Amino acid sequence: MTPVIPRSLRSGLVALLLASATSASAQDAAERAAAEQSDVRATGDQVANRRTAAQAYDRAANYFMGGQFDRAGQWFMTAYRLAPARAALVQAVRSYQRAGELARAGTLAILLAEQYPNDAPAVQLANEVMVEASRRAVLVTVECDGCEVEADGRLLATQAAYLGPDEAHAIVAYFGNARVEREARGESGAQVLLEIETPEGAEVAPDESEAQARATARRRREEEEDEGGIQVLGPGLFWTSAAATVGLGALTLWSGLDTLSGVDAYEATPTLERLQNGQDKERRTNLLIGFTAAFAATTAVLAIFTDFAGDDEDEDDDAGTRAAIVPTRDGAVVMVEGQL
């Protein structure tokens, strides 16, 4: 007999499910809105910020793996704001580029080039993205002394941004307790320069630019000293994992063919020895399939966090990393040698 659920209980369950979905949707929307309001570094407890940044980075990586590149970019940027690190900003730029949001990617590329001018791979990525963004967006640059710039409600970490073409954009320059509003508009590929003078009576710290430079230098030293920070991997580990995956795939194919080759012999002469031999080969093939799948998944994850435009020093470090497949009596052994 099929149990009957009372109508009142069914209504309550439906209401509970709808409330949970609505709550989760509202929370997600609130978090997304918060991530879009500012590019400026967050203040507060650095230890708590780094812990939250690591969580945001993991969430971004999950979105990236799922193909939700715009969401990934938002959370990579959240991680960067909470605990500025090159890896988070690089991944934010790449995510928005993959999402097709070139204006956003270009704006963050400007920040990447400004924050890491001596990092050749970072500058190369930034230049490539800015060239792409300059074809489809409008580059708006604000010239002002000691001001903070806001574009369409987003507080920028730089004084330039790529914005959508053929539409009006609200630009606000903040001078301490004063603000100046301007409007910017342009076609694709255009460059708009807004020169804004400091308004009379504005309370702007005279040494603000110097203080910002000192803060930036201090932050970079902290990043260099923070060995537990988020890092982008060199290409050596990825190629090693890829080579091991290919090798395991070839070995799995051979093992499968070897297993099938014994079927005819067993059917012709079904002995206990041949049965046990076939079962051993089948177990070996199943294990190889599992190892191949695991290495393939690892290679896919490494591809996300690998800096393929690494410098010579990275290549030297990766030179000692290699993989090999050593034949054995019952198959082969995959060996990976190197330093992490």
Residue 251: how many CB atoms within 10 A of its CB? 21
Q: 121 Cβ partners below 8 Å, 6+ apart?
A: 307, 309, 310, 311
Find, among 170, 96, 162, the residue nearest to 133 by Cα.
162
Domain limit, last residue, from 207, 225, 243: 225
Same domain (yes/no): 181, 256: no
The mean pLDDT value for 326-336 works out to 51
CA angle 210, 212, 213 (to 5 degrees): 65
Question: What's the token pair of residue 55?
Answer: 């969580």
Are 302 and 192 part of one and the same domain?
Answer: no
Asked if pLDDT for residue 294 goes beyond 60, the answer is: yes
Q: How many domains does the chain have?
A: 2
Identify whether residues 193 and 214 lie together within a single domain: yes
pLDDT average, residue stretch 130-152: 94
Task: Report DSSP state, residue 41.
Answer: P
Rounded to an integer, what distance in angstroms lies between the CA atom of residue 87 and that of residue 232? 5
Confidence check: pLDDT of 326 > 90: no
More confident residue, 312 or 44: 44
Looking at the fold, whether 153 and 245 belong to one and the same domain comes out as no
Convert the pLDDT of each residue in 103-120 to its tens digit: 999 999 999 999 999 999
CA 79/CA 60 separation, integer angstroms: 9
Which tokens hold the place of 112? 């990447």
Give the integer Cα–Cα distance in Å for 302 and 309: 14
Beta bridge partners of 331: 328
Residue 30 tokens, joined: 């609130």
Question: Is the domain of 205 the same as that of 274?
Answer: no
- Cα–Cα distances in angstroms (integers) from residue 254 to residues 47, 153, 285, in the given order: 52, 60, 9
| Residue 128 scores a pLDDT above 50 | yes
> For the chain, how far is it from start to end, CA to CA, in angstroms?
62
Residue 190 DSSP symbol: -
In a domain, 284, yes or no: yes
| Residue 12 confidence (pLDDT) above 90 | no
Please, how many CA atoms are within 13 Å of residue 294, restricted to the half-sphere of its CB? 6
Q: Is residue 1 part of a domain?
A: no
Residue pLDDT, tens place only, 221-275: 455 444 444 555 667 777 787 888 888 788 788 777 777 766 666 666 666 676 6
Q: What is the pLDDT of residue 135?
A: 95
Q: Are residues 199 and 292 in the same domain?
A: no
Considering the domain boundaries, does residue 319 fall inside one? Answer: yes
pLDDT in tens, 67-108: 999 999 999 999 999 999 999 999 999 999 999 999 999 999
Q: Kindly state whether residue 307 falls inside one of the protein's structural domains.
A: yes
pLDDT tens-digit profile of 166-208? 999 999 999 988 999 999 999 999 999 999 998 887 776 554 4
In this structure, the number of other CB atoms found within 10 A of the CB of residue 210 comes to 10
Range of the domain at 66: 37-225
Query: What pairing do the DSSP bridges indicate for beta strands 148-151 and 169-175?
Result: antiparallel
Best-predicted range by mean pLDDT among 148-152, 278-282, 317-321?
148-152
Tens of pLDDT along 15-26? 444 444 444 444
C-alpha to C-alpha distance for 331 and 310, rounded to whole angstroms: 36
Contact in structure between 149 and 38 (CB atoms under 8 Å): no
CA distance 185 to 138: 8
Tell whether 124 and 48 lie within a shared domain: yes
Q: What average pLDDT does the segment 31-51 reach?
A: 69
Q: Is the pLDDT of residue 211 over 60?
A: no
pLDDT at residue number 305: 64
Residue 136 CA to residue 169 CA, distance in Å, equals: 16
Which of 78, 103, 99 is CA-nearest to residue 89?
A: 78
